[in-house]
Chain A
């Protein structure tokens, strides 16, 4: 059981906009930044969104992040086949004094 809660799956057709939610609590997302990682099949995760809504260099602006209260969201616009991957949210948890992750959302591009 992950500390952060994500839907296990999401899907969309090419060109669509999809959003993935991440629900936490006051000790993690409620007081700290939310982060998003993308994991392509057979590879290590890599940073997609940091500090709620910032993109590392090289990440297309089709990816955007937001946070409200104890929840965060990842939006992907102009969906492409190469976006098919697992997406994980993360945050620092002040009560656990450590990083916590969501269970991951598998995105399928139909």
Chain B
């Protein structure tokens, strides 16, 4: 059974960097049958996919167009976790942030089959 445990600050000041970590148990961040995603949810924007990382002999990233200039998702194989960094945040980035595992098979990725518990991050001075 896969479990995803999120951690990170819940309050971030405008213009600073939002940083969250997702610790994986029951699977590996280096699995070639998974993609590791960050998704956020707010009343104004609904569910919004931010990006993902996956390992297929080397590391690959995909990022949403809306945040591509500000986002970095990195793996940490020594701790079996992955992280989100979102730079230059504004109050518009206030949301519940989720990490989620994407099930992948045969070179394609499918649904998000496991989710973290969610972290409400507020951007405010």
Q: Which residues of A contact B (CB under 8 A)?
A: 2, 33, 35, 37, 44-47, 50-51, 56, 88, 90, 92, 96-104
Contact = CB atoms under 8 A, between A and B. Distances in A.
Given A35-B112, A45-B112, A99-B37, 9 more contacts: A35-B111, A44-B115, A44-B116, A44-B117, A46-B115, A56-B111, A88-B47, A96-B64, A98-B62
Nearest to A32: B108
Interface residues of B, number: 22
A44 B62 contact: no
Q: Is the interface of A mostly helix, strand, loop or mixed?
A: strand
A92 B112 CA distance: 12
B98 interface: yes
Contacts of A46: 115
Contacts of A51: 110-111
B88 to A, nearest CB: 20
B116 A100 contact: no
Given A33-B110, A96-B65, A44 B49 contact: no
Given A37-B112, A50-B111, A44 B98 contact: yes
Give 8 closest A-B pairs by Cβ, nearest first: A99-B49, A50-B111, A44-B115, A101-B47, A47-B111, A98-B64, A35-B111, A103-B46
B42 to A, nearest CB: 12
Contacts of B47: 45, 88, 90, 101, 104
